[in-house]
Amino acid sequence: MQLKIRDLNPGDLPSVTSIYAEAVKNGTASYEIVAPDLAEMTGRYQALHSKGYPYLAAVDETGALAGYAYASAFRTRPAYRWLVEDSIYIDPSARGRGVGKALLSELLSRCESLGFRQMVAVIGGASEASMAVHRSCGFELAGRLVGTGFKHGLWLDTVFMQKSLGPGNATTPDLAAFPGTLA
Ligand SMILES: CC(C)(COP(=O)(O)OP(=O)(O)OC[C@H]1O[C@@H](n2cnc3c(N)ncnc32)[C@H](O)[C@@H]1OP(=O)(O)O)[C@@H](O)C(=O)NCCC(=O)NCCS
């Protein structure tokens, strides 16, 4: 597959809605039970985009959306503002072909350039595929919360993985730079 990673635009949102709906219905990455509709997904995209968080699309040679990834605040209290959480969703027909890794690599690079210092992955259902893509991009295990979700009739563990961005916590952040202006 010839892959292009670019900023997501509003025209991609129907495909985003459909990829996410499949993951909500059939998977454990998301702890939502009912898939959000296009209006809700548009609102979520706009909220992140307006604050400057990266929201990326992976498109194949036909222009179809193979997957998407974005960064968002892990928690909104201001001292957390140097930490972002990533989310990645790949169309089932495009999984296992390097799309997730390509998106996450670009997301890491964008977040580092913006001045963020840490990225956390919150891995619902301790998914092997999700842990593998994060490990492959240099994330390390940061903890496991046992029995923290209940979906599809099963208790789910939530795994945290973490990666430092740029100087991480080795230097003080530039308080004048984005993301210091967030929240
Ligand atoms: C998890 C997900 C994003 C991975 O994306 P992907 O495009 O399928 O993964 P890639 O092809 O880029 O693979 C990246 C690495 O993970 C490994 N991997 C991928 N799927 C795997 C699986 N099912 N089991 C074990 N390893 C797997 C690959 O071998 C590769 O390892 P390498 O770099 O050492 O060769 C994708 O499967 C997905 O969208 N799943 C449903 C939603 C989800 O779980 N999102 C994550 C939310 S935190």
Whose Cα sits closest to atom 5 in ligand 1? 100
pLDDT tens digits along 11-64: 999 999 999 999 999 999 999 999 999 999 999 999 999 999 999 999 999 999
Range of the domain at 86: 4-164
Whose Cα sits closest to atom 41 in ligand 1? 89
Task: Answer whether residue 174 is part of any domain.
Answer: no
**Mean pLDDT within 158-168:** 98
**Cα 133 to averaged position of ligand 1 atoms, centre (Å):** 5
| Closest atom of ligand 1 to CA, residue 101 | 12
Is 26's C-beta closer than 6 angstroms to any atom of ligand 1? no
Structural domains of the chain, count: 1
Verdict on whether the full-model pTM lies above 0.95: yes
Is 61's C-beta closer than 6 angstroms to any atom of ligand 1? no
**Mean pLDDT within 158-180:** 90
62 contact partners, CB below 8 Å, separation of at least 6:
none
pLDDT for residue 103 is more than 80: yes
Task: Answer whether residue 147 is part of any domain.
Answer: yes
**CATH number of the domain within which 17 lies:** 3.40.630.30
Task: Answer whether residue 58 is part of any domain.
Answer: yes
**Alpha helices (H) along 74-140:** 99-114, 128-136
Task: Answer whether residue 171 is part of any domain.
Answer: no
pLDDT tens digits along 52-97: 999 999 999 999 999 999 999 999 998 999 999 999 999 999 999 9
- The owner of tokens 């993301």 is 179
| Confidence at residue 182, expressed as pLDDT on a 0 to 100 scale | 54
